[in-house]
Chain A
Amino acid sequence: MSFLKEFKNRELVEALVRKIKNIHLKKPIKICHVCGTHEWTIVHYGLRTLLPDNIELIAGPGCPVCITPALDIDQAAELALEGKTVAVFGDVSRSIGVKHSLEAVRSEGGDVKIVYSILDALRMAESDQNREVVFFAVGFETTAPATALHILRTPPKNFSILSSHRYVPPAVIALYSRGKLEMDGVIAPGHATTISGLKAYEPLAKEYGIPVVASGFEPVDVLMSIFMLVKQISEGRAEVLNQYSRSVTWEGNVRAMQTINHVFKLTDAHWRGIGTIESSGFILKEEFKDYDAKYKYGLKDVDYANEMHAGCRCAEIMLGRIKPTQCPLYMKVCKPNKPIGPCMVSIEGTCRIWATHMVPS
């Protein structure tokens, strides 16, 4: 597949930018994406600087670590402090809740282990049956199938999960319909949509008149998707189109979705800083509740009056209302090596991506 290098080709990028500039738009538009990796491509290749002023690219809530509730992070940290082994992805290990940060808990002797996949966590549980192992299951529908797969394979009794898995399509639709996320077109997240299928985004086009294009992650992919959206907007059309057809299909990965639906049910779920969104979180079904750490250890849900650190504006960043550079703390107090908010903690977070590309404050 070496021909895929075309998707980074500079001439194609320039040609696409010319095509986009030639489209007549009656008014300025906002195009929203919902994936940290799309934001990385946009910032890394400077795509915003190539586009005309009347097209604004905004980054929606596309970072699973950023939207993981502070409560879940604190609960994971407390389990580690109580002597359980808490297995997390590397990016999650830096998460900061309200009371605890997983990294700090780790340096205090809490058993926080970094894993590459849920399988590593299972192996820990299998190798020592006396050790309680909790896998902190963070991630969207891209990550949830692997968790589900292993729950179906009947893990040992000393294994459980703390599920912060979230489902992107209902969240984007709800945030738009409530006027929280303003946009004229949306770039669907290529990898999450590989699982959910493009059909999950159909209501946006059909009910709300918002065109949708599933996009790949190379610069040509993203610009081609923007072209496909801008053209629709200028012609007053709203369709669901697929730029990333090498991976995304209308139905998605049916086997992966079935695996998820076997194990999890959708529930109203909290997105950090954003609030509760209907049917957007995956929790284990009744028959698997012994593997649910919240049930197993009787974790109590409490309401935090404020789950963001003083001055942190991640909530507005994740709704595309402000840019990281508009946060007074950006690169002054809040930096990649000393993050304040989740958007600077996670490598998929908008503030972090901007900071590592030295976008000046």
Chain B
Amino acid sequence: MSFRSNESLLAGTTRILYKMCLAVPAKVIEKVGNMAKVDFGDNTLREVDVSLVDVSIGQYVLVHAGYAIQVLNEDEALKTIELLSEMLSE
């Protein structure tokens, strides 16, 4: 089994961009009206529609079939890691 433990959040996502069911995280680098330019991490830039979320430049969104469906919450991600370490130390 291979665990790519030092892989960054975004690496390797482009190969799965066309999987319809999947949502992939990307960083918003530009925003004009309903559209934003996002970076999937390995210099794969795409235009996505951000009408369904309130997002600012620099935040991460989940992109599904060309639409941002959520703004990822960094604080919550950290809390999950904390919760996990609590669970493991119990």
Give the interface of A toward B (CB within 8 A): 1-6, 8-10, 12-13, 15-16, 19, 35-37, 45-46, 63-65, 89-92, 116-119, 138-140, 142-143, 145-146, 149, 191, 194-195, 219-220, 224, 227, 243-247, 253, 255-256, 259, 347-348
Q: Taking CB as reference atom, which chain A residue is nearest B66? A: A117
List the A side residues contacting B76 at CB < 8 Å.
245-246
- Which chain B residue lies CB-closest to A148? B52
* Chain A residues whose CB sits within 8 angstroms of the CB of B73 once the complex forms: 245-247
Contacts of B49 in A (CB 8 A): 117, 119, 146, 149
- What CA separation (Å) do A2 and B5 show in the bound complex? 11
Residues of B within 8 A of A220 (CB): 84
**A327 to B18 alpha-carbon distance, docked (Å):** 28
With contact pairs A37-B22, A142-B21, A348-B19 given, residues A1 and B9 touching in the complex (Cβ less than 8 Å): yes
Interface residues of A, dominant DSSP: helix
Per the bound structure, the CA–CA distance linking A316 and B69 in Å amounts to 32
Bound together, the chains give a CA A16 to CA B66 distance in angstroms of: 35
Of all chain A residues, the one with the shortest Cβ separation from B71 is A247
Q: In this complex, which of B64, B76, B79 has the most chain A Cβ atoms within 10 angstroms of its Cβ?
A: B64
B8/A5 in contact, CB under 8 A: yes
Across-interface contacts of A92 in B (CB, < 8 A): 20
Contact status A139-B80, CB under 8 Å = no
B:16-65 near A, CB below 8 Å: 17-23, 25, 49, 51-53, 60, 62, 64-65
A297 to chain B, nearest CB (A): 24
How far, in Å, is B63 (CB) from chain A's closest CB?
A: 10
Q: Which residues of B contact A12 (CB under 8 A)?
A: 84, 88
Would A46 and B1 be within 8 Å (CB), given that A194-B62, A224-B84, A245-B80 are in contact?
yes
Using a CB–CB cutoff of 8 Å, the interface residues on chain B facing chain A are 1, 3-9, 17-23, 25, 49, 51-53, 60, 62, 64-67, 69-70, 72-74, 76-81, 84, 87-88
User: Given the known A-B contacts A9-B3, A19-B88, are A191 and B9 also in contact in the complex, defined by CB atoms under 8 Å?
Assistant: no
Task: Report the Cα distance A157→B61, complex, angstroms.
Answer: 33
Tally inter-chain residue pairs, CB-CB below 8 A: 142
Q: Tell whether, in the assembled complex, residue B5 and residue A1 are in contact, meaning their CB atoms are under 8 Å apart.
A: no
Complex Cα distance, B88 from A89, in Å, reads: 41
In the bound complex, what is the Cα–Cα distance between A36 and B18 (angstroms)? 14
28 intermolecular pairs with C-beta atoms under 8 Å apart: A1-B72, A2-B8, A2-B9, A4-B9, A5-B8, A6-B81, A9-B5, A13-B3, A15-B88, A45-B3, A64-B20, A117-B49, A119-B49, A138-B20, A139-B65, A142-B23, A146-B65, A146-B66, A191-B21, A224-B80, A227-B87, A244-B80, A245-B77, A246-B74, A246-B76, A246-B80, A253-B52, A253-B70
Instruction: Indicate whether A8 sits within 8 Å of B70 (C-beta atoms), given known contacts A3-B78, A245-B79.
Output: no
Residues of B within 8 A of A10 (CB): 3, 5
Chain B hits for A245, CB < 8 A: 73, 76-77, 79-80
Contact A243 B80, beta carbon cutoff 8 Å: yes
Residue of chain B at shortest CB distance from A49: B1
Q: Is the CB of B65 within 8 A of A4?
A: no
Question: How far is the CB of B49 from the nearest CB of chain A, in Å?
Answer: 7
Contact pick for A36, options B21, B23, B87, CB 8 Å: B21
> In the complex, which residue of chain A has the Cβ closest to the Cβ of B74?
A1
